[in-house]
Structures are given as structure tokens and as C-alpha cells.
A and B are shown apart, each in its own frame.
Chain A
Amino acid sequence: MNWRTLLKQTLVVGLVAAVTIPPLATAREPQVGEKMAAVELYWATREPEDVARRAHALAELVAGRTLEAKSIAKMLQQRGRPGRWMSVGQGTELKLKYVPEFDELRVINRALADLEDAGDIGEKRAIELADQYLQALAGRNLIDVNALNMNNVQVGYAKVGAGVKDESFKSEQITEYRITLRHEINGVQLANAGMRLAIHASGKLAGIRLGGVSARGIFDGATFVPGGEGHFVERRVSDKDTEVRFRESIPKEAEVDVAWARMMYVMPDDTEALVVEPMRVYSYTLQFSTEKGERVSSRRKIVGYSLTEAKASAFDFTAPAEQHDGQDRTRTK
């Protein structure tokens, strides 16, 4: 069944299919006056057999050898271990976990995690290998290779170091290139879905993280068509306007260090399903000076601004509880 047929069937019977979010090769962020999709996001509940199938395939890819599917399925059924790391087989360094609330699979090869002095293929080669692993995952029906944009990757690093306290010796090396690809919806990244490939400095696959939130809708040609409660909205607020509001929100006595700011879909924490519009999202740190002249940094704050309502309150994805604890008793010593 092709996408066009699926679209027709969906329109006829009024059903909405939940599909892997497709990318747009030529997609770009919507500008003011253009349409953008408000998408219904939800955390999918996956059948145990499907989880086991996917876990087995990921584990084999990371292990680089065949593994017994039954043992992995049995392992995933262990009571009291949902969302926890489990060793795949006796005496192996392969660890796996499935986090059901985030429909997320992770596999790591502990033997490679801190393996040093195994050469260094470099970042460029690691990205090329990530692309190849992406194709391998697609070949096992774990992802739609078109759903992730290899031209828009984020690269982090695993590093190990050691030394003597008197500083007579110290060393550091990169052990992994950690390549993250987030799903995109019509050119807009989704914070809560994607994959991360850990490419060991030797070129071996050291780990995979795969999964995240799902979106209701279907893909028609180059456009993702929102389904369920989703719909199209018009972008009315520019980046310049959100930038002004963001800067005005910073306390006068503080400076701000912005880690990143981009248009994004973000599923708020502790939410089962929600129609989400793209927002202009800021990930930043506030920095204050103490009376002693020390500089102190806040923990990271992540705040989103509406792109459809210029005066809508900013949404704080890292908001503290309304009531702080610890005020109900007095410590005396």
C-alpha cells in the first residue's frame, strides 16, 4: 500500500493512522504567513512481540553477530525490570533496556564504552558510518530511513581521561562520536523523538538509542498532514518578535547564555497526548554574580514561545513546583 492509497482510505473511513513521521527533503521551517502543522503527539503503546523484535534487531546490530531472539524476548518480560538496563546473555557486555513510557529502546556495548587506544576514525568518518548504520536499521524495518535527516545531525562525544593529582601526567581521548538525529515534521524538529548512534572511535557501533513520541497523521507527497485532533495553523509571530520577548524575560541582574534556540515541537513532560504547535524554543542558563563576585550558573531552563499568539505566555518546560518543600519544619542543628 502506498501513501496515496493510505491517504484515500483514511479520508474515506475517517480513521487516522499513526505513522512514522516522514521527512521532507526540501522542507524548511515555516515563515510568518505560512501554514504549519499543529500535530497530535502521543506515547505509543507497543506490543511485547514488536518490542522484542526491535530489541533483538538492535542488539544484533550492536553486537555484530547473531543473537537468540527468544532469550531477548524472555528477558524483556522479566518482572520488576521495566525501563532498566539488562545484560543480554550470561557474561556478555551487551546491555539493553526498553522504556515503555517513552517507547524507547537502548542498547550499549559496555566493552566499548571506555575502550581506549583503539584508534580514532575522526568525526567525519563517524558520521559516514552512522549513515550506513541508519541504512542497516532501515533494512531491518526499525526506522524509515527517510524519517531522519542526515544533513542535520548533532554530534556529541564520549571522552575518558586520567591523570595524577600533582599534574605530572594527564591524558584524554575521545572514545565515541555520539550522533543524534531528531525526527522532523515539515522541516521542524521534534524534541522528543529520534535516534542516537554511538560510534566508537574504532568505528564499531557502541550503542543505539531509538524511539520517542509518535505523531498522528499521514504523509501526502512532501507534506505531513496532521491527523486526529491535529490541524494546520498559520504562523503569525516572527523569530525577531520572540527574541524580543525572550530578552525581556531575563532578570535585570542576570546575564543569559543561550545553548540553542530553534523552532521545535516539544511534548511537555508528564503529558500522555497533546496537540502541539511548533514553538520558538530557548535552552539557556542564567548567570548571576554573588556579593563576593562569584559567578553562579542556573541549571538549564527550556522555554517555548508561541508562533501563533504573540501575547501567549511563554511555556516553561522546566518549571519548578508551585510550592517549594522544606518550609514545614525548622532545622535546629
Chain B
Amino acid sequence: MQHENRKVTPSSIRHRLIAMGIGLGLSLCLLAQAVQAVGPTYWIDESTDFTGNGCANADLNNVTSSLRDRLNSEGWTGTRWSNANAWPEDFIEQDFGGIDHVAGDSKTLSVYAGHGNRALLQFGFQRNGRCTVSLDASSRHGTQGGDEAAYMMYVTSCTINKDSLSRHFDQAVRQSFGYHNSPSVKDNQPREFYEETDNTDNDIAWREEMEDRPGWFTGDNSPITLTFGTSSSHCSLVKDLARLRANNLLSDAPAPDAWYCYSMFDNGQSGC
């Protein structure tokens, strides 16, 4: 099994421990153990009710409850808010007036399910005059306030449309999962995706799970994973190794993540 080449090597850790003293080393060990004990974390916002709440669109099926339940049962901790309790500011950078430092950018995996468009999320309930979050204008996941998000999942239309990849470049995450078009998504598909990631990399699991509704052969969806890395080879490595359920590469994305790589099933971009 390959491992990601991190900046901190075992030998450098040893040198630092010598330099900083045994006491500090023990403290670091205890801290590391504490972080490990907490385990991976998630933040989920979902909008299904778009009728009469100031943010008009079609009502939706619930696609993240079963994901939340599975994550909880496997030691993940976090919060899922829906409808009136799912707020746009959860995905807005703290420095821009949002609260992502205690919401969407405070956990390992951050999920939004609802409607959208290119680099855009639409919530179901208007709050402070706002229904939408423009990712390039307002979001800075994995950096600045919060600085915890390593993976983003957008169960929305067109949010990772290929024409809008550059509008995701201000995020500092390892991977984002989404769609190049307007997808049809059945209730448990995000959970099914997660469950596959114990022995299948996130990239393959997302594409294979999301191309169709379960049991359909209509090829309605164009699922895409957008991965970031410090170099071309590092990006490929993350794409090949990252597995949510196997706890593989759940740490923060190393900086600077100057490179991106993506893979997708392209069944058109209808709806964008």
C-alpha cells in the first residue's frame, strides 16, 4: 500500500522531540491520541422543502438521513440539520460573515443536499435575505475560519459542472464530490457511496454509485470527483488512496494544493 508523502517525516519528528524535550513529546502523543479518539466528524445540511419559504424550487426527497445514521453507527460524530435549520451561513466563511468555523468547515466531511448550480448551493428557507451560497465568492472550506473540512459532498445540480472547476479553487480540501449535470438521486445513495469506500477509493465509489438511480439504466447523472494535491503525482495519489470509510487520508489537505485532477462519467450537462 502506498502512503501519502507528508512533509513531517518520522526522522524529523524524532529530531523535534529531542529538541523540544521528552515532556513536550509526551504532550503531543497525548494530543494525538485524543484526536484519534474523537474520530472523523461530519456536518450535513439538507433542504427538501422549497415551497413557501422564500426560496422557490421543487421539493426534494431526503438523501442524507441514512448517511447520517451510518456515519453515527461507525464512530463518526457530527450534526445534520435540515430545512429551516439548514442555514446558508453554515457554508459561508467566517471571515466573510458566515459561521463555517462552527459548521461546514469545522468537520472532516461536509455535505450539502438540495438544489444548486455551478459553484452554487440553494437552500430551502430564506435566512437574512439569502437563499444561496456562491462557493467562490463566499466559501473557503479547509482554510481560514474552521479550517477542518477535508471532503465536500454536494448532492445538488451542477455544483461541480466542469465549466466551473476554477470556482472551487479557493477551497482547500482533499476532494469534492458532486455532479456535472442535474442528477436524479435516490434516498440512500450517499450512504451507499460511503459504504463502498472501505475497500474502494472514493473516486470510483462515487462515480459507480451515482451514474444512475439504483436499478435504473437511464444514465441520467454525470458524477464527478474533484481532487486537489500539492503536485500532479500527489493529486493522483490522493485520488487513488482516499477512502472515507477506511479512514484513509482523512486529515487536512496539505498545502499548497496547487494542482487539481478530476474524473467523471459524462452523460451530458442537462439542467445546468
What is A's interface to B at a CB cutoff of 8 Å?
43, 84-87, 95, 99, 101-102, 104, 106, 108, 110, 113-114, 154, 156-167, 175, 178, 180, 182, 191-196, 209, 212-213, 251, 253-254, 257, 259-260, 267, 269, 283-288, 290-292, 294-302, 318-321, 324-327, 329-331
Contacts and interface: CB of A to CB of B under 8 A. Distances in A.
A110 B264 contact: no
Contact of B265 (A87, A158, A286): A158
B94 interface: no
B182 A162 contact: no
A294 B120 contact: yes
A259 B270 contact: yes
Nearest to B209: A85
B202 to A, nearest CB: 13
A160 B271 CA distance: 22
B254 interface: no
B258 interface: yes
Given A165-B258, A259-B270, A193 B157 contact: no
B272 to A, nearest CB: 6
15 contacts: A102-B215, A110-B204, A158-B263, A162-B236, A164-B260, A165-B257, A269-B214, A290-B122, A294-B117, A296-B57, A297-B158, A297-B182, A297-B272, A300-B270, A329-B85
A108 B265 CA distance: 14
Contact of A331 (B85, B117, B204): B85
A156 B115 contact: no
Contacts of B241: none
Contacts of B222: 156
Nearest to B46: A326
A95 B200 contact: yes
Interface string B118-162: 001010000000011010000000000000000000011110001
Contacts of B87: 331
Contacts of B272: 297
Interface in B206-248: 207-208, 211, 213-222, 232, 235-236, 239
A interface secondary structure, majority: strand
A2 B59 CA distance: 51
B266 interface: yes
B92 interface: no
Contacts of A290: 55, 122, 131-132
A84 B198 CA distance: 10
Contacts of B251: none
Given A283-B184, A329-B85, 16 more contacts: A106-B208, A108-B208, A156-B267, A165-B169, A165-B259, A180-B217, A195-B217, A196-B219, A269-B186, A285-B271, A287-B271, A297-B158, A297-B271, A320-B61, A326-B82, A331-B84
B93 interface: no
A173 to B, nearest CB: 11
A156 to B, nearest CB: 4
Contacts of A300: 157, 182-185, 220-221, 270-271
B184 A253 contact: no
A298 B117 CA distance: 8
Contacts of B132: 290, 292, 294, 296
Contact of A285 (B84, B122, B270): B270
Contact of A301 (B48, B58, B199): B58
A85 B265 contact: no
Nearest to A210: B217
A326 B217 contact: no
Nearest to B222: A156
Contacts of B204: 95, 108, 110, 113
A104 B215 contact: yes
B58 A298 contact: yes
A16 to B, nearest CB: 23
A164 B81 contact: no
B185 A192 contact: no
B57 A288 contact: yes
Contacts of B82: 324-326
B40 to A, nearest CB: 20
A326 B68 CA distance: 14
Q: Which of A167, A193, A294, A299 has the most CB of B within 10 A?
A: A299
B260 A180 contact: no
Nearest to B257: A165
Interface string B178-198: 000111111000000001100
A299 B62 contact: no
B57 A162 contact: no
Interface in B52-77: 55-62, 65
B249 interface: no
A182 B217 contact: yes
A87 B199 contact: yes
A287 B115 CA distance: 10
